[in-house]
Amino acid sequence: MSLKAYKLVRILTWTIGGISLIIFYVWFEYLKPSLEARDSPTEQIADAGFNRYVWLQGKDNLTNNNPRRLMYPDLVEKHLAKGLTKASIEEKLSQPDHLDKDGIYYYLIDYDFNTSKFDYLVLNFDQDDKLQMYYRKAFRYALK
């Protein structure tokens, strides 16, 4: 390869690389979707706090837009408290997504497709069927 052809290939390679960097910069800096943008009405309602009807729509929702994820902080802060009965919990949250042999309730909160992580709201009850403890727990598999 002659020196002239080598220089031409080098200039062409650097030009393509530079243009690619500019395109990627513009794409990721200005054209990426904003995390603040909430377009769907379900997400707007969920942002307003706990809503039973929107909560029910989140059952078995394995998308990144599960409305339960957005309602979880409000639910824990304002709607769950030790001493609530199973009946009042079921009235508010419906039947659990999973019920284990010990009577522990599991409600799907969020699912991360990239890491295959399932987040559940876990509710433990005492012998009198009163809420004893609630917390969030992640699993690498879906509870059935």
Q: Which of 90, 94, 76, 84 lies closest to 132, judged by CA?
A: 84
Residue 123: burial class (beta carbons within 10 Å; 0-12, 13-18, 19+): buried
Q: What pLDDT, in 10s, does the model give residues 63-94?
A: 877 889 888 988 999 999 999 999 999 999 99
pTM of the predicted model as reported, rounded to 2 decimal places:
0.68
Fold of 40-139: Beta-lactamase Inhibitory Protein; Chain:B, domain 1 (3.30.1450)
Q: What pLDDT, in 10s, does the model give residues 29-65?
A: 777 655 555 556 555 655 678 889 889 988 888 887 7
Tell me which H or E stretch contains 47. helix 41-47
Q: Which of 124, 121, 125 lies closest to 135, judged by CA?
A: 121
Domain ranges of the chain: 1-31, 40-139
Predicted pLDDT at 39 = 56
Contact between 93 and 107 under an 8 Å Cβ cutoff? The reply is yes
